[in-house]
């Protein structure tokens, strides 16, 4: 575990409720990315910010809710990051290729690990299960919206963009899950996802592969 344990600091400066809540939320995010969602505990959060577990409990009485909120905050932020990455793309085809590159890249591994945590822990944590559903729907809406834009622009066809979005996300999630436990290399299988997308969207073979933008990405095809 990479969480550094520390004793609560005696006489620590009093903070406003809003500042303390933000501090707790920030600590939870740090722990999640370092140690996984299971690492978010009263004692762990308290040690991270140097206060007593009782103080954390006062501001966040339900750790299940804190875990769910932390997962949601990290995942929703990633959607925003990916949207910014795709914004400069000159076409929807280019954006779709960039999306596949990004989601199967190693830099996304920390968030992928949180998804695996959430799918597992959510079986017994209703608050987390609900948040998983919210974030899955958000990702599906994002990808579906991208596909609808491409259809509207006449770049490709899709009888059911919603279904294609779920199909692509399912494949990407599966490959990333394998890679997290060191079974295969998700980046090396980008071509597989592109091939499926090209088939489903009526694109010629290799249409999405041409969107690779850097020598690093090219070496991973």
In this predicted model, what pLDDT tens digit does every residue of 43-65 receive, in sequence order? 999 999 999 999 999 999 999 99
Kindly state whether residue 121 falls inside one of the protein's structural domains.
yes
Return the pLDDT at 14: 77
55 and 75 within one domain: no
115 and 36 together in one domain: no
pTM, rounded to two decimals: 0.84
| Angle of the 109-121 helix axis to the 126-152 helix axis, nearest 10 | 130
**Residues 93-123: tens digit of each pLDDT:** 999 999 999 999 888 889 999 999 999 999 9
Asked if residue 133 and residue 27 are part of one domain, the reply reads no
Q: Is residue 3 part of a domain?
A: no
Judged on CB neighbours under 10 Å (0-12, 13-18, 19+), 92 is buried
Q: What's the domain count of the chain?
A: 2
Residues 136 and 103 in one domain: yes
pLDDT of residue 2: 43
Q: Is residue 8 a part of any domain in this protein?
A: no
Q: For 81, how many CA atoms within 13 A lie in the half-sphere containing its CB?
A: 11
pLDDT at residue 187, as a whole number: 63
Q: Do both 145 and 195 map to the same domain?
A: yes
Give the tens place of pLDDT for each residue, 134-184: 999 999 999 999 999 999 999 999 999 999 999 999 999 999 888 887 776
CA distance 142 to 124: 28
Separation CA 8–CA 6 (nearest Å): 6
**For residue 25, is it within any domain?**
yes
């Amino acid at each position: 575990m990479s969480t550094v344990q520390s004793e609560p600091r005696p006489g620590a400066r009093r903070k406003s409720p809003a500042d303390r809540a933000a501090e707790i939320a920030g600590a939870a995010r740090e722990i999640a990315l370092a140690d996984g969602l299971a690492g978010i505990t009263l004692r762990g959060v308290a040690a991270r910010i140097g206060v007593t577990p009782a103080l954390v409990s006062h501001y966040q009485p339900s750790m299940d809710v804190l875990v769910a909120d932390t997962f949601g905050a990290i995942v929703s932020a990633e959607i925003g990051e990916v949207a910014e990455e795709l914004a400069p793309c000159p076409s929807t085809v280019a954006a779709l290729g960039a999306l596949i590159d990004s989601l199967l890249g190693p830099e996304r591994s920390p968030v992928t690990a949180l998804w695996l945590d959430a799918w597992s822990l959510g079986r017994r944590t209703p608050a987390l299960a609900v948040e998983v559903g919210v974030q899955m729907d958000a990702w599906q809406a994002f990808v579906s919206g991208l596909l609808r834009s491409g259809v509207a622009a006449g770049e490709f066809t899709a009888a059911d963009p919603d279904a294609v979005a779920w199909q692509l996300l399912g494949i990407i999630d599966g490959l990333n899950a394998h890679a997290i436990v060191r079974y295969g290399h998700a980046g090396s299988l980008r071509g597989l996802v592109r091939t499926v997308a090209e088939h489903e969207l009526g694109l010629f073979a290799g249409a999405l592969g041409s969107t690779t933008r850097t020598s690093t990405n090219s070496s991973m095809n």
